[in-house]
């Protein structure tokens, strides 16, 4: 006796992101979007998000660790020493910057979050650019500096440049500028203005 089968109901597709970066339906497994950076990107193009406030300017990577392993496995070396070769490539491509700059960027980034500007990428990027110039200036001139003061001054100057004022207004006392969250010497603020005016194209 022949049995009648009910036609399959079409899947309503609820897509979720998998560990490999794919968008796949959690019911039927259909892949909506597969991200293969090596196959889809030209060699001279990168879609890696970046911001000057981040150490190394990198906010993420277009190719994860397992993607790197897959690319290396297709090369002349095949699967031999795959982990070691992957680690060497990550070390080569990792940009190195001075530890003083890392500390300054971390402080400025934390203050941006504290003041509610973590989603304002224009302010964050401008603050990071200015802070990089400040740290470079002090390091090249071999003058002593405090990373906290540079971060606070760069952040204050950048916010003021974009039209944000501190509330209550800052206090200027004996060469220092103080707000609720920031404290730095007034001469560093003058240096911020000078560097910003003279190095706009850098």
**Domain-wise residue ranges, the chain:** 13-40, 46-96, 99-198
Q: What is the model's pLDDT at position 91?
A: 63
Q: What is the model's pLDDT at position 53?
A: 65
**Residue located via tokens 């203050």:** 111
Q: What is the model's pLDDT at position 8?
A: 53
d(CA 134, CA 139): 9
pTM above 0.85, yes or no: no
Q: What is the model's pLDDT at position 55?
A: 56
Q: What is the model's pLDDT at position 40?
A: 44
Q: Is the peptide bond before 168 cis (omega within 30 degrees of 0)?
A: yes
Q: What is the model's pLDDT at position 83?
A: 77
- 10-residue mean pLDDT profile of the chain (202 residues): values are 48 71 70 48 49 59 64 76 74 69 91 88 91 92 93 95 91 93 94 89 64
Whether the Cβ atoms of residue 121 and residue 155 lie closer than 8 Å to each other = no
Structural Rg of the chain based on CA atoms:
25
Q: What is the model's pLDDT at position 56?
A: 59
CATH class of 99-198: mainly alpha
Whether the Cβ atoms of residue 129 and residue 121 lie closer than 8 Å to each other = no
């Amino acid at each position: 006796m022949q049995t009648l089968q009910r036609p399959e109901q079409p899947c309503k597709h609820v897509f979720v992101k998998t560990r490999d970066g794919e968008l796949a339906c959690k019911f039927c497994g259909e892949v909506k979007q597969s991200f293969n950076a090596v196959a889809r990107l030209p060699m001279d193009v990168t879609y890696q998000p970046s911001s000057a406030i981040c150490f190394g300017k990198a906010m993420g990577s277009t190719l994860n660790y397992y993607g790197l392993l897959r690319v290396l496995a297709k090369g002349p070396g095949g699967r031999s020493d795959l982990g070691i070769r992957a680690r060497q490539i990550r070390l080569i491509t990792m940009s190195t910057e001075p530890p003083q700059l890392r500390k300054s960027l971390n402080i400025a980034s934390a203050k941006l979050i504290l003041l509610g500007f973590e989603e304002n990428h224009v302010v964050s990027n401008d603050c990071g650019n200015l802070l990089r110039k400040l740290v470079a200036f002090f390091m090249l001139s071999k003058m002593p500096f405090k990373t906290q003061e540079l971060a606070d001054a760069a952040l204050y100057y950048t916010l003021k440049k974009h039209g944000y004022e501190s509330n209550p207004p800052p206090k200027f006392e004996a060469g220092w500028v103080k707000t609720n969250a920031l404290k730095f010497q007034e001469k560093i603020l003058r240096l911020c203005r000078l560097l910003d005016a003279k190095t706009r194209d850098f």
